[in-house]
Amino acid sequence: MLFATVLHLLPWCCSISMVPAGVGLSVALKHAGIENFVVLERQTVGDSFAAWPAETRFITPSFPTNSIGMIDLNSIAVEVSPAFSLEVEHRTGEEYASHLPSVAQYFELPVREHTDVLRVTKAGDHFRVDTAEGTLRAKHVVWAAGEFQYPRLNGFKGRELCRHTATVGSYENLEGDEFVVIGGYESGVDATYQVEQRRASFHSRREVCLGMAWLVI
């Protein structure tokens, strides 16, 4: 049984998802001498990064930056650096998706892949975690899942006319020559830059009209 050993041990901690937060937390627990924990991942380690648009790269560069042990702005564990393992400063999502499993393997993290968490409830002095494969209990639960894999697709009226960047495999495959980009943070700037490389036209919110393609960030 998948959870037979876990149920018997009653993990001190259960971390949900193996994005950078989940991987980093797991390594930190190991460094603290805590071995009785488990990490549940709905797909595979780093899977959400592999789903990034092909052209998107990390804004923060990877290179040695200080002398306190975290040798990389994008390090998720002491003495680990994607700059050294990937030999690239601004990584693509696909590249970073290959980095995270290598960290998990190096530190021998107790990962249960393909385990979909259905609900988490408080049960006395512990938590009950129900998954599609079974149920486990833990003293502590950390929800480490990122937002990219859960895009909000029904946030406003007219959403059916838009395309969320989480559903874009490559900006080269987008149809149309005019776009309205909604959102001005990192993803919005990246989408604007990527589409501009195709020599597309952009419109501000004051110039919005019908008949154009929309990208929602």
Q: Nearest CA to 161 among 176, 172, 144, 139?
A: 176
DSSP annotation of 108:
T
Which residues are within 8 A (CB) of 165 and not within 5 positions of it... i.e. 6 or more apart? 53, 187, 191, 215, 216, 217
The answer to whether 4-143 and 159-216 have equal CATH topology is yes
What is the per-residue pLDDT across 73-123, written as a single tens digit (0 to 9) for each?
Answer: 778 888 788 888 888 888 898 999 999 999 999 999 999 999 999 999 998
Q: Which CATH superfamily is domain 4-143 in?
A: FAD/NAD(P)-binding domain (3.50.50.60)
DSSP annotation of 147:
S
What is the per-residue pLDDT across 137-151, written as a single tens digit (0 to 9) for each?
Answer: 999 999 888 778 888
Q: How confident is the model at residue 37 (pLDDT cuts 50, 70, 90)?
A: very high
Whether domain 159-216 has CATH 3.30.1330.90: no
Classified as helix, coil or strand, 71 is coil
Q: How confident is the model at residue 185 (pLDDT cuts 50, 70, 90)?
A: confident
- Answer yes or no: is pLDDT of 72 > 60: yes
Give domain limits for the chain: 4-143, 159-216
